[in-house]
Structures are given as structure tokens and as C-alpha cells.
């Protein structure tokens, strides 16, 4: 039984970066304005995320890592309305099946923090002989999630991974994306024990300033902005914000950051459509930098995508992306005058 759970969990959490993405989204959903991440061995030894969000009530701790346990929808009929998508209530449960998971959390109302550890979906003693009950401890408002020894019990999953440094760069990529998309949240990501941060952003930025902090001035000085939104012919609401480089910037490696309803996702079709604005403008084989945030009526986004498939679909995909590409083209042309 636990083997089946482990295999299922490995389908959802298949590498450290994707555990981290889930934990980051939880911290952001909890309203955090400061998020600090420390990583050891590419996230395989340690992945720790400290947020100053709402915290978790003590009463909610026993079921925290139970499968399908989520505070983000009350009934299944809400599923099409929630702003988030993907399978709900599976992240912490999955992590608890393939790693040592512990939580220290404090809500504003509670006078002390509570610490709990989990194994296979349920509360577990933090060390042999200890009680499994949550224990009072000192702690700030917010939540610290500690994931240790990821995939210690799934050697096949472990063997499929790249080197720790490769896994760490994937982690940095996730943090950078979310830091750009959430410029009023301060992010810090470093290797555990190191004094130097590999990502650090202030809590008072804009998308543009965060791009500058992370990708540097050569990208930032060529950034153009385009906006688009649903018109009269559309029968549902959507809006797009794009930050992209002008014809003066071109590199061999494309950077495409796509957010749909505030989740970092992939869509080959959307990427191809917006990258095509550079056809005939940039030298062959070179690319620009594109950040695209789409907010779409959530009932029009496919919520049933499996969490490992970051590929997302939505209604009127082709028409919406064409509209976005047109807006970019107009800005590019005006910039060229």
C-alpha cells in the first residue's frame, strides 16, 4: 500500500524544483510578503521555505498532509471557480510519502508556534520514541516547511535526477519566475549555510524592476510593455500583461516566462505564437526575453491538468494569443520609429 502511495507521490513530486514550486505557491496563497528558501544538495538533502503568511491553525495540523485535504475549496462545485488549478490537496501529502516533512507554523491568533512532522500522510514522531502530537515551540507568525531526504525511499526516482547543481539551477529558475511575477513579495534563495543569496528581491518592486534585478540591466533597458484584454466579441474576461525586449536585444537562448492565473505554466502553442513576433526582426537563431501574464476567467482554464504536466490549455487559446501577439507587434513597430 505504501509502495503504491510512493509511486503516486513520485508522479506529482518528480524533482526538487517541482516540490519547491508547490511550496512557493502555498506560501503565496497564504499571503506571505517575505519568502526565504534554503537548499542543500540541489534540494535532495534539504529544502526549507520560511514564509510570513497566515500560518496554519493547530487544529488543522493533524490532517495537513492527508491526501485531498485542502483549505482552498469547500465543495467540489467550487472547483471551476477557484483561482488556482491542478489537483488540490496533493502536494504536502505527496511530499510526506517521499521525504521527511516537518512544519513549524503560527497564526496571528495563536500565542506560540506549533511543530509537527509527517510521514506517509499522517502525523509522525520527529524522532524515534517521540510523540507524534504537534509540539509547542517558539516561532514567528507564518510557516516554515522543511523537506529532508527527498526520494530517500524511492531509489528509482532518485537515480533519474540530474546532478545536485543541475537540480539547484532548476530551483533557482522557479524562484526567479515567481519573484518576477510577485514583485511586492521579497524572495531570498540560498544554499544552506552560505552567506550569499543566489536570488534576492525587495518587497517593493515592480515586474520591470524585478526583471532588472534578476536578468540584469542589458535585458531591462530594452524592455517594452504591451497590454491586451477581452474585447466586445469575447464572451469571457481575460487580460494580458507582457514585458518583452525590443529588436535591440537578441541572445541564443530564449527566455519565456508564462503565468496563467498566477501559476507558472508551459504552453508550447502560446510560446510559439508570441515568439513569432520576432520573425524577421531578430537575426535567425536568436531570441528575445518574454514575460507574459494571462489572467483568464478560471472556468475557461483546464483545471484537470495533471500536476506534473505544466502544459495548460484554455478556451479560445488561438484567438487570445493572436490578440496578445498583435499588441506586442504594435508596440515593437512604434518603438522602431
Please name the residue that has the C-alpha cell 508556534.
Answer: 113
The H helix count followed by the E strand count for the chain is 9, 14
Whether the Cβ atoms of residue 20 and residue 175 lie closer than 8 Å to each other? yes
Q: Decide: is 26 part of the binding site for Mg ion (CB under 5 A).
A: yes
* Residue where the block lists cell 520560511: 50
96 touches Mg ion by CB under 5 A? no
Q: Measured from the CB of residue 123, what is the shortest distance to ligand ADP in angstroms?
A: 14
Q: Are 55 and 143 in contact (CB under 8 A)?
A: yes
Site string for Mg ion, 246-275 (x = CB under 5 A): ------------------------------
Smallest gap, in angstroms, from Cβ of residue 270 to ligand ADP?
A: 24
Find which of Mg ion, ligand ADP, none residue 167 binds, CB within 5 to 8 Å per kind: none
Q: How many CB atoms lie within 10 A of CB 204?
A: 9
Q: Nearer Cβ to ligand ADP, position 92 or 328?
A: 92
Determine the 3-state secondary structure of 9 from DSSP. Answer: helix
Instruction: For the CB of residue 332, give the shortest distance to Mg ion in the complex, in Å.
Output: 37
**CA–CA distance, 277 with 328 (Å, rounded to integer):** 7
Do 117 and 102 contact (CB within 8 A), yes or no? yes
Distance CA 97, CA 138 (A): 27
Place of cell 472547483: 79
Give the span between the Cα atoms of 277 and 133, in whole angstroms. Answer: 57
Position 91 contacts Mg ion (CB under 5 A): yes
For strands 135-137 and 255-260, give the pairing. unpaired
**13 vs 211 by CB, closer to ligand ADP:** 13
Nearer to ligand ADP, 51 or 317 (CB): 51
**Which of the listed partners (ligand ADP, Mg ion, none) does 70 bind, with a CB threshold of 5 to 8 Å by partner kind?**
ligand ADP
Residues that bind ligand ADP (CB under 6 A): 22, 26-27, 30, 51, 53-54, 56, 64, 70-72, 88-93, 143
17 binds, among Mg ion, ligand ADP, none (CB under 5 to 8 A by kind): none
Q: How far is residue 95's CA from residue 118's CA, in Å, rounded to a whole number? A: 9
113 binds, among Mg ion, ligand ADP, none (CB under 5 to 8 A by kind): none
Residue closer to ligand ADP (CB basis): 93 or 327: 93
Question: Residue 92 binds which one of Mg ion, ligand ADP, none, with CB within 5 to 8 A depending on kind?
Answer: ligand ADP
Enumerate binding residues for Mg ion (CB under 5 A): 26, 91
Amino acid at each position: 500500500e505504501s509502495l503504491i502511495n510512493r509511486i503516486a507521490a513520485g508522479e506529482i513530486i518528480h524533482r526538487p524544483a517541482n516540490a519547491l514550486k508547490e511550496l512557493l505557491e502555498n506560501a503565496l496563497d497564504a499571503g506571505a510578503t517575505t519568502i526565504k528558501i534554503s537548499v542543500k544538495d540541489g534540494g535532495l538533502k534539504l529544502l526549507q521555505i520560511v514564509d510570513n503568511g497566515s500560518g496554519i491553525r493547530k487544529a488543522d495540523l493533524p490532517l495537513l498532509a492527508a491526501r485531498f485535504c485542502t483549505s482552498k475549496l469547500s465543495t467540489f462545485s467550487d472547483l471551476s471557480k477557484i483561482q488556482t488549478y491542478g489537483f488540490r490537496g496533493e502536494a504536502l501529502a505527496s511530499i510526506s510519502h517521499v521525504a521527511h516533512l516537518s512544519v513549524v507554523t503560527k497564526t496571528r491568533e495563536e500565542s506560540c508556534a506549533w511543530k509537527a512532522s509527517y510521514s506517509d500522510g499522517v502525523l509522525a514522531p520527529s524522532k524515534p520514541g517521540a510523540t507524534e502530537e504537534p509540539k509547542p515551540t517558539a516561532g514567528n507568525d507564518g510557516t516554515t516547511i522543511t523537506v529532508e531526504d527527498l526520494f530517500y525511499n524511492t531509489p528509482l526516482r532518485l537515480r533519474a535526477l540530474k546532478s545536485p547543481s543541475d537540480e539547484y539551477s532548476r530551483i533557482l529558475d522557479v524562484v526567479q519566475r515567481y519573484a518576477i511575477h510577485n514583485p511586492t513579495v521579497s524572495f531570498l534563495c540560498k544554499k544552506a549555510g552560505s552567506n550569499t543569496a543566489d536570488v534576492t528581491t525587495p518587497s517593493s518592486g515592480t515586474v520591470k524592476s524585478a526583471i532588472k534585478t534578476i536578468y540584469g540591466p542589458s535585458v531591462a533597458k530594452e524592455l517594452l510593455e504591451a497590454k491586451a484584454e477581452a474585447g466586445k466579441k469575447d464572451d469571457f474576461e481575460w487580460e494580458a500583461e507582457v514585458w518583452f525586449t525590443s529588436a535591440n536585444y537578441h541572445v541564443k537562448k530564449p527566455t519565456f516566462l508564462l503565468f496563467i492565473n498566477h501559476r507558472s505554466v508551459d504552453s508550447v502553442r502560446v510560446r510559439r505564437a508570441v515568439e513569432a513576433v520576432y520573425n524577421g526582426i531578430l537575426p535567425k537563431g536568436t531570441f528575445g526575453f518574454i514575460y507574459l501574464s494571462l489572467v483568464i476567467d478560471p472556468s475557461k482554464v483546464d483545471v484537470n491538468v495533471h500536476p506534473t504536466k505544466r502544459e495548460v490549455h484554455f478556451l479560445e487559446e488561438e484567438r487570445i494569443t493572436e490578440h496578445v501577439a498583435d499588441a506586442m507587434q504594435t508596440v515593437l513597430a512604434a518603438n522602431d520609429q
